[in-house]
């Protein structure tokens, strides 16, 4: 069991920032990543559809043999965690709870912490981060903004263009007026733009990368359950090396291209598969 990899799924390429955070924090672990690129994006889809896709993805990863499952997709974490837990008999960690808890933890010196959240329209509408933050701190004030153009800007690799700064200024105007102590990056793509975001909100605002917060909670989970891998492979590990296996449901070539943009490396092991009802069809 300890030697089994950790499964990660996302609607597409964005979850690679969560993979990077897990890889950096848990260098002894192996990972299997599934990007559902045939059905991306989830953020504009209905609850029923997101649940169905999430269950299919989870069952596929569970069928490969994993010791825990990370739901890197914010939309699936917001909408489908109970359904996923019911469908697979595994520890399942989403990104929203850890992100919300870390924001509260980092602002705990404040009597009434002010926490900003930026995310896709669907995640904002779900109120999932607001609820996660309120569960961790009843006194926290939360303000959310949707930043729809950040995802295509990140995928274009426009991490320092004038237009990205200008769009960030527009999107983050209300966040800046709210003047938060911490700002949750509530979409897996946003860490790619963290420099632009940090500069726009100012150095005093703590940016919370939900992927990093999730990696910390996964580490604690593995230790508490005695599930950590004891083989010492950390010294030889690199991002995207052949200990990690990547699956996509479509367009592997594009995935590899964006992976290189996001991680500086292309997956050594990348396979395109079809998933319906948890079965692998080709």
Residues in contact with a second copy by CB under 8 A are 37-40, 44-46, 49, 148-149, 151-153, 155-156, 161-163, 166-167, 170, 250-251, 254, 272
- Cβ of residue 223: shortest distance to a second copy, in angstroms? 39
Convert 271-282 to b/e letters by CB count within 10 Å (16 or more is b): ebbebeebeeee
Half-sphere exposure (CA, 13 Å, Cβ side) for 194?
18
CA distance 31 to 66: 9
- Cβ of residue 147: shortest distance to a second copy, in angstroms? 10
- Based on CB atoms, which residue is closest to a second copy, 110 or 254? 254
Catalytic sites, residue numbers: 73, 187
Q: CB burial class (10 A; 0-12, 13-18, 19+) of residue 130? A: middle
- Cβ of residue 38: shortest distance to a second copy, in angstroms? 6
Closest Cα to residue 216, out of 31, 7, 22?
Answer: 22
Angle, vertex CA 22, rays to CA 203 and CA 273, nearest 5 = 125
Q: CB burial class (10 A; 0-12, 13-18, 19+) of residue 160? A: exposed
- Based on CB atoms, which residue is closest to a second copy, 31 or 255? 255
- Based on CB atoms, which residue is closest to a second copy, 4 or 251? 251
Cis peptide before 41 (omega within 30 of 0): yes
Contacts of 57 (CB under 8 A, 6+ apart): 9, 34, 36, 76, 275
């Amino acid at each position: 069991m300890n030697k089994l990899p950790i499964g990660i799924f996302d609607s597409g390429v964005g979850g690679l920032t969560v993979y990077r955070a897990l890889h950096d924090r848990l260098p002894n672990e192996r990972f299997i990543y599934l990007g559902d690129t045939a059905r991306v994006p989830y953020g504009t889809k209905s609850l029923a559809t997101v649940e169905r896709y999430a269950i299919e993805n989870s069952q596929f990863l569970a069928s490969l043999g994993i010791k825990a499952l990370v739901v890197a997709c914010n939309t699936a974490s917001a909408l489908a965690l109970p359904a996923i837990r019911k469908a697979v008999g595994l520890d399942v960690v989403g990104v929203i709870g850890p992100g919300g808890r870390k924001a509260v933890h980092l602002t705990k010196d404040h009597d009434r912490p002010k926490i900003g959240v930026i995310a896709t329209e669907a995640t904002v509408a779900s109120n999932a981060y607001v609820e996660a933050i309120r569960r961790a701190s009843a006194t926290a004030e939360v303000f959310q903004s949707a930043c729809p153009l950040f995802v295509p800007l990140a995928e274009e690799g426009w991490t320092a263009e004038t237009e990205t700064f200008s769009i960030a200024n527009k999107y983050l105007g209300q966040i800046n007026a709210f003047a938060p102590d911490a700002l949750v990056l509530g979409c897996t793509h946003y860490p790619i733009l963290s420099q632009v975001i940090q500069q726009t909100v100012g150095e005093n605002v703590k940016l919370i990368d939900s992927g990093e917060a999730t990696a910390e909670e996964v580490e604690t989970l593995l230790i508490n359950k005695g599930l950590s891998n004891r083989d010492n492979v950390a010294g030889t590990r690199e991002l995207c090396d052949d200990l990690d296996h990547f699956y996509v449901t479509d367009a592997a070539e594009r995935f590899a291209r964006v992976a290189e943009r996001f991680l500086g490396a292309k997956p050594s092991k990348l396979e395109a598969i079809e998933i319906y009802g948890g079965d692998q069809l080709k």
